[in-house]
Amino acid sequence: MVRMSAEERRESVIRAAITEFSRGGYNGTSTEAIAKRVGVSQPYLFRLFPGKQAIFLAAAQRCCQDITKVFQRASEGAEGEEAVQCMGDAYQALIAEDPEKLLMQMQIYVAVAAAEAVGDREFGESLRAAWMEMYDVVGLATGADAGETTWFLAYGMLINVLVSMGFKQDHRVWVGFHEATQSQEADKE
Amino acid sequence: MVRMSAEERRESVIRAAITEFSRGGYNGTSTEAIAKRVGVSQPYLFRLFPGKQAIFLAAAQRCCQDITKVFQRASEGAEGEEAVQCMGDAYQALIAEDPEKLLMQMQIYVAVAAAEAVGDREFGESLRAAWMEMYDVVGLATGADAGETTWFLAYGMLINVLVSMGFKQDHRVWVGFHEATQSQEADKE
DNA sequence: GTAGATAGTGATTGGCCACTAACTTTGTCG
DNA sequence: CGACAAAGTTAGTGGCCAATCACTATCTAC
């Protein structure tokens, strides 16, 4: 058993929480499962965080930040359509190497809806703010073209959904997506 | 207390389940809550359905069918871009009058991911089939243009996400969406 | 009316889970 | 060393929840 500072532990908890919550969702994930993955006793989580929701929130914010950073780095130095292309490539790479971030996104969306349904306003507010950062980074890259930003995010959301639903790469639902990529490339010429 | 045939009761259960599951998701919804909404005792649900998952599955399939029908009716008699326009209008109307169908979609996506994660293959298979019916109806309306079908669904998915996240109608995330609608109308002229 | 089927309930149970309280171990510094 | 703090654990509690069992009420057809 390795001893760590509370701050380092919180870090590992957040990483473990992303993995677990992305699979099971908020209600389908026990704090026990997270603790096991961290390699720490379950009650100790409540020393590091005030409660389960706080763990989810931290994991969700981290996840949004990570994706935001991916877009930020990918679009650095580029502008307009070229930047969009770079971000698209970066997102596809992210799917391949880190699918849990993508699933976590979906979990965030339904968690906000659930929180809102029971009158918990603050939770959703925090996550909308995190999401807006991502939105604005994409917006900046497209040269503040709201239509193009929306287009980009829409395709991203469809990808999230298709991956969540478990459609394999060679399934026909992906065909239209490839066409779109090609036609976008065709536009550039 | 009204007596009903088992078949009628199952119907009410499905409707109630859509409402409850759309808010709380699979794990966040108790069978008790569904039973209360139906106006029936909780154990009786297990006479009508073999288990909780079967209730969710029935609700999910019904939800997909309903949306499929909305697209089918909206696109009847039209073709190509006109049909797409009609379906888009129909979807917006659906959001306004029946937002739970939209939230339920999101719940389906994460439920499939969760089932797949624990090795339950059959559950996801059923729901992918239901989803593909909707895909094909949209595909048919666009004249089997996979790119356009994908484009249409992508915007639909982004709408689902933005609504789930609780962004109000006048929030700036919706701006790009309006622009896209306008530019699509401009394309037609 | 009574027999069989169909619709429905009350009570219960075993398991899980978020969270608490009280205690132990390990590092650090004068 | 000894004392204080920070990291971490074990044991336990109260509440919820899916599912079962045994039972009751109502309808239908002879």
pTM value is 0.94
Residue of chain B whose Cα is closest to the Cα of A122: B166
Give A49's DSSP letter.
S
pLDDT for B179 equals 63
Q: For residue A148, which amino acid is it?
A: E
Tokens 């009716």 correspond to B73
pLDDT for A177 equals 82
Residue A79: phi, psi to the nearest 5? -145, 150
Per-residue pLDDT of chain A (189 residues; tens, 9 = 90+): 789 999 999 999 999 999 999 999 999 999 999 999 999 999 999 999 999 999 999 999 999 999 999 999 999 988 889 999 999 999 999 999 999 999 999 999 999 999 999 999 999 999 999 999 999 999 999 999 999 999 999 999 999 999 999 999 999 999 998 765 555 444 444
Chains A, B: CB contacts under 8 A, how many? Answer: 141
Alpha helices in A39-169 (DSSP H): 45-48, 52-75, 80-97, 99-117, 121-141, 146-164
Q: Which nucleotides of C are covered by protein (CB under 7 A)?
A: 6-11, 16-22, 26-27
Q: d(Cα A41, Cα A36) in Å, to the nearest integer?
A: 7
Measured between CB atoms, which of B24, B112, B116 is closest to A114? Answer: B24
Q: d(Cα B44, Cα B47) in Å, to the nearest integer?
A: 5
Cross-chain residue pair A27–B23, CB shorter than 8 Å: no
Report residue B181's pLDDT band, with 50, 70 and 90 as the boundaries: low
Residue A23 CB neighbour total at 10 angstroms: 20
Q: d(Cα A159, Cα B157) in Å, to the nearest integer?
A: 9
Footprint of strand C on the protein (CB under 7 A): A 3, 29-32, 42-43, 46, 51-53; B 1-6, 9, 39-44, 47
Interface test with B, best of A101, A109, A123, A181 (most B CBs within 10 A): A109
User: How far lies A105's CA from each of A157, A177, B148, in Å?
Assistant: 9, 20, 25
| DSSP secondary structure string for all residues of chain B | -----HHHHHHHHHHHHHHHHHHHTTTT--HHHHHHHHTS-GGGHHHHSSSHHHHHHHHHHHHHHHHHHHHHHHHTT--HHHHHHHHHHHHHHHHHH-HHHHHHHHHHHHHHHHHHHTT-HHHHHHHHHHHHHHHHHHHHHTTS-HHHHHHHHHHHHHHHHHHHTT--TTSGGGHHHHHHHHHHHHHH-
Is pLDDT of B186 > 60? no
* 3 state SS of A45: helix
**In Å, what is the separation between the CA of A6 and the C1' of C28?**
16
